[in-house]
Amino acid sequence: MLQSISIVNFALIDDIQSDFGRQLNVVTGETGSGKSIVMDALSLVLGARADLSAVRDATKKCIVEAVFDLSKSTLKHVFDDLEVDFEIETILRREILPSGKSRSFINDTPVQLEKLRTLGSQLVDLHSQHQTSQLADPRFHFDLLDAFSDALELRADYQQTLEVVKQEEKRYHGLLEAQRSAKESYDYNSFLLAELKELQLHIDIQTQLEEERNLLQHADDIKQTIQHILQISSTENSGLTDQLSQCRMDLQKLESYSDQYKIFSERIQNLWYEWTDIQANLSDMDEGLVVDPMRLEAVNQTLSKIYSLQQKHQVQDIRGLMGKEQELEALCQVVLEGDEEIQAQKQRLDKAEKTAWKLATNLAKRRRDHAQKLSNELSTRLVKLGMEHARFDFQLDAESSLGPIGADSLTLLFSANKGIDFSTLRKIASGGERSRIMLVIKSILAKNDHCPTMILDEIDAGVSGEMAKAMGSFMKDISEHTQLIAITHLPQIAAMGNSHIKVYKSSDDYTTRTYVKRLEGEDRVVEIAQMIDGNQITQTARTYAEKLLN
């Protein structure tokens, strides 16, 4: 239940705070006193869009905070789904900063506005004055019938499955389009792929070919230079190899005279080993290096193809060409193996549709099983509100396709008087009748959807006299199992409240402010008498007010 609301710096409100009781809370006040402002502030903290123009002082922060007692609630799973902490005393807060930015909090944890809106809709059923127009909305009729038949969970399962159907259908058509597009360019893609595959690309191919080309282009010069080096090193007696060997032997003779000569000897020996190894390697390279014009031509042709394909496919290197090869391979694969994948996706789509249709069929049956019961329940409850001949007819027709809330269409027909044919509510129900019908519907929803708090904003519009008293009694009954906050202009309803809150304005030379006040005792008698007779309270009005309260 809603324990309290505090509003700071919002419209005509400077800083107010109001507490609410567990049962029927009535809110009264003259037209223009600010009742709608309080409703707007409550809508804001329940997730409505923020409007900077509603801030009283744009240089200061606007804060609306609502405190809920959830000790008797079964909404912990909602908190779990939203990934926010559940608290017995839960606080929703909305702030509008001077910058215009809006912030939302649940139990002091910052949350996205959508989470605040989701939780708010579970905590409060807020009926504003314009919502009576929902009586002409088939979606509202479905909400009523599904709540009454305890089908909301089944409908949620259906909608979740329908979303899967849409996703699978999107994938299926995506594969069809991809295959169609791929088939159109298959021959060309195959040709491009063959060009790339012919090169047998690997990550080092370009570097290796360019190095090989460089060697082949200068093979004569390289061989002559190597052979010259080998000749210098191998000339008998005067060659570098023999000279190093002679130096090594001479230094070995001196090793006995000093350790330093021994070190020189070891170094010369290392030089000799290193040089003989170089000499052997150069000899191998000389033998392996072949002047091969045909191989050079082949390497040049391969490199030319690589450079040409890099330009053709607008890539910078071999890695880019290899990526293009994979891409073309995948496009060709769609054509070669696409039918099998499409068939598998079609089976997934068919399975999802079958599940959705099964749920839609169960949902339709549940609705049909309860439609007449709901019609009877509405008629029975309206008898208490003076509409003893009211009748309803929920006409459900099967559709050939899956819709957003099932595979049915629904038309709600109404007759207010005996002997009068059924027609739509919009055509034949008066304003007062629509108000009474909406109240009855709200009483059914309150009993079936387990919303902790219901707020009715002047749902009694167009009603007076004995009907006002009957509606007050009806609200009193609703408040036995659901906290009810009723904004009303009718003294008969105001007198039935367990708690009475007055909204009023006060002005000085500079500004106007809206305030709230909890009324008890004499203050409440005066307020109800003023609702009956205006500001000039007569004894008759006062006596009638006391009678209503008693």
307-321: burial string, b at 16+ Cβ within 10 Å, e else: eebbeebeeeebeeb
Q: In what order do the strands lie in the sheet with 24-28?
A: 124-127, 453-457, 483-487, 24-28, 499-507, 512-519
488-504 tens-digit pLDDT: 989 999 999 999 999 99
Higher pLDDT, 7 or 73: 7
CA 442 from centre of chain = 30
C-alpha dist (Å) from residue 267 to 46, 142, 248: 90, 100, 9
Q: What is the mean pLDDT of the chain?
A: 87
Q: What is the pLDDT of residue 165?
A: 96
- Non-local CB neighbours of 533 within 8 Å, separated by 6+ positions: 540, 541
Greater pLDDT, 201 or 181: 201
Each residue's pLDDT tens digit, 273-311: 888 888 888 888 878 777 788 888 988 899 999 999 999
Sole residue written with tokens 């991809």:
178
Q: Which of 350, 369, 347, 356 is nearest to 403 (CA)?
A: 356
User: 206 with 317: CB under 8 angstroms?
Assistant: yes
For 541, which DSSP code?
A: H
For the record, the structure tokens of 336 come out as 């070669």
Q: How far apart are CA 203 and CA 214, in angstroms?
A: 19
- Residue whose tokens read 């330093």: 260
Task: Say how far apart CA 219 and CA 34 lie, in whole Å.
Answer: 99
- Per mean pLDDT, which range of 311-315, 395-399, 403-407, 477-481 is the poorest? 477-481
CA distance 2 to 66: 7
Question: In this predicted structure, what is the pLDDT of residue 188?
Answer: 84
Output the CA torsion sign for 497, 499, 505, 508: positive
pLDDT band at 129 (very low <50, low <70, confident <90, very high): low
pLDDT of residue 338: 67
What residue spans define the domains of the chain?
1-127+451-519, 186-334
CA distances from residue 275 to 30, 237, 286, 453 in whole angstroms, order as listed: 112, 16, 16, 97
Examine the pLDDT at 331 and tell me if it is beyond 80. no
Cβ–Cβ under 8 Å, residues 172 and 349: yes
pLDDT at 371: 94
Locate 259 and state its tokens. Answer: 């350790």
Which tens digit of pLDDT belongs to each residue from 432-450?
A: 788 888 888 888 877 666 6
3-state secondary structure 118-142: HHHHHHEEEECHHHHHHHHCHHHHH
Q: Is the pLDDT of residue 162 over 70?
A: yes
1-127+451-519 maps to which CATH number?
Answer: 3.40.50.300
What is the reported pLDDT for 449? 60
CB-neighbour burial class of residue 207 (10 A; exposed 0-12, middle 13-18, buried 19+)? exposed
Q: What is the mean pLDDT of the segment spanning 259-280?
A: 86
Q: Is 537 left (phi over 0), alpha (psi -120 to 50) or beta?
A: beta
The helix/strand/coil state of 95 is strand
The answer to whether 479 and 453 have CB atoms below 8 angstroms apart is no
What average pLDDT score do residues 15-39 get? 89
Pairing verdict, β 499-507 and 24-28: parallel
**Coil, helix or strand at residue 452:** coil
> pLDDT by residue (tens digit) across 104-124?
999 999 999 999 999 998 898
Q: Measure the CA–CA gap between 38 and 516, rounded to whole angstroms.
A: 9
Split at pLDDT 50, 70, 90, the class of 408 is very high
Give tens-digit pLDDT for 53-71: 888 888 899 999 999 999 8
Measured distance CA(184)–CA(334) in Å, rounded: 12
Q: Which of 80-89, 130-139, 391-400, 516-525 has the lowest mean pLDDT?
A: 130-139
Q: 485 pLDDT exceeds 80?
A: yes
Mean pLDDT of 545-549: 89
Q: Per-residue pLDDT for 519 more than 90?
A: yes
Residue 190, pLDDT score: 86
Sign of CA dihedral 374, 375, 378, 384: negative
Note the pLDDT of residue 14. Answer: 87
Which residues have CB under 8 Å from 395's CB, separation 6+? Answer: 410, 411, 412, 413
pLDDT at position 439, please?
Answer: 84
The fraction of the chain above a pLDDT of 90, given in percent, is: 38
Q: What is the pLDDT of residue 131?
A: 64
